[in-house]
Amino acid sequence: MSTKIKFLLLELQITIYARSREKVNNQSSLISANNDGVDKIKKKVTIIQGDFENLIPFESGIIGHTLLFLLVADIPKQPGVKQIVDIEAKRISWRSYSLIDRHLDAEKVIYAIPDRKYYVTLRPTNFMSNIFFLCYDGTIQSEDTLIDSAGPEEKQEWISLYDIAQVAVNILQDPIDKHGDAAYDLVGDIKTLLERAAILSTTLGCTITYKQLLVQECYKYLIKNARMDHLEAHFFATYQGCSPITRALSLLLGRASETYEIWATKNKQ
C-alpha cells in the first residue's frame, strides 16, 4: 500500500460499495495487507454489498460522508457531500463520438445540480490497460502482433490507471476548497505504434511487431473479439488526435507521470 493512500485511509472514514464483500476482503490490500497501520485502517472501512440495480444501501451508507469518489451520477444529491471527484473522459469536439458525449452529458447533469458543493472532474485519455481487451489476448499472445488502424508513426496519448488513482487520492487529501470546480485533462505519455511494439518486445522478451489494419478490419475485429457494440468499436477503430503530455499532471501527482515503459514493466505478468 502506497504511503499516500495509507495516509488518506488513516485520516478518513471510508465506505466501499462492492458487489462482493468477500472479493474486497480477499483482494484489497486496504483490508488484508500486512502493513503498518492496517488494523487502524480496518476500523475506518465500511463495506456495503450491493449493485447498481438497487442503490438504496449505498445512498444510506454515505450519509455523513463529506468526500465522494463518484460512481453513480445521482449520488451527489445526498446531504453532507461537500466535494465530488468524478472520472469522465478527455474532451473532444462535441458529437464527434457518441461514446465520449455520454461523459460530457454526465458532467453537465452533475454541474447543474442545485446548491451542490465542489465538483472536480478528471478527464483521462486512453488507458494504457486498454491493450488487455483491445488486442492482447487475440494477437499479442497468439501472433506476437500489436494491431491498430493508425499509421505506424502516428502518435497516440496514454495514461496509466495508477496515475489517475493517485491524482484522485491527492485531491481527496487536499483542503476541500483548494480545487473548487476544477477540470483536469490527464495525458501521461505519448507513443507511436512502433514505439509501443518495441517497448512490449523488450518487456515480454520476444519480438512484437505492429500490424496496421484497415479501419473496416479493425472495427470488425473489435466487434467480434472484444465484443464491443457499434459505438465502442467505432471510437476505438477510428479515433485520431494527439495532445501534448499534460504539463499540470506532475503538479497533481507530485512526481513525473508513468511512461508506457514503466507501466508495461509493472504489468508484464
Domain ranges of the chain: 62-266
- Which pLDDT score is estimated for 59? 62
d(CA 181, CA 134): 34
- Which pLDDT score is estimated for 58? 63
**Can you tell me the mean pLDDT for 239-243?**
92
The radius of gyration of the chain from alpha carbons, rounded to an integer in Å, stands at 20
Which phi and psi angles does 195 have, rounded to 5°?
Answer: -65, -40
- Which pLDDT score is estimated for 190? 98
Which phi and psi angles does 129 have, rounded to 5°?
Answer: -75, -5
36 has a pLDDT exceeding 50: no
pTM of this prediction?
0.73
> For all residues of the chain together, what is the average pLDDT?
80
9 has a pLDDT exceeding 50: no
Angle between helices 98-111 and 230-238 (to 10 degrees): 110
Side-chain half-sphere exposure of 227, counting CA atoms within 13 A: 2
Which phi and psi angles does 234 have, rounded to 5°?
Answer: -60, -45
pLDDT category at 165 given cuts 50, 70, 90 is confident
Q: Which of 99, 111, 267, 264 is nearest to 195 (CA)?
A: 264
C-alpha 77: how far from chain center: 23
56 has a pLDDT exceeding 60: yes
Instruction: Pick 32 or 253 by higher pLDDT.
Output: 253
Q: Is 112 in contact with 149 (CB distance < 8 Å)?
A: no
d(CA 235, CA 211): 19
**Can you tell me the mean pLDDT for 173-199?**
96
Contacts of 12 (CB under 8 A, 6+ apart): 44, 67, 172
CATH superfamily placement of domain 62-266: NAD(P)-binding Rossmann-like Domain (3.40.50.720)
- Which pLDDT score is estimated for 246? 97
- Which pLDDT score is estimated for 25? 67
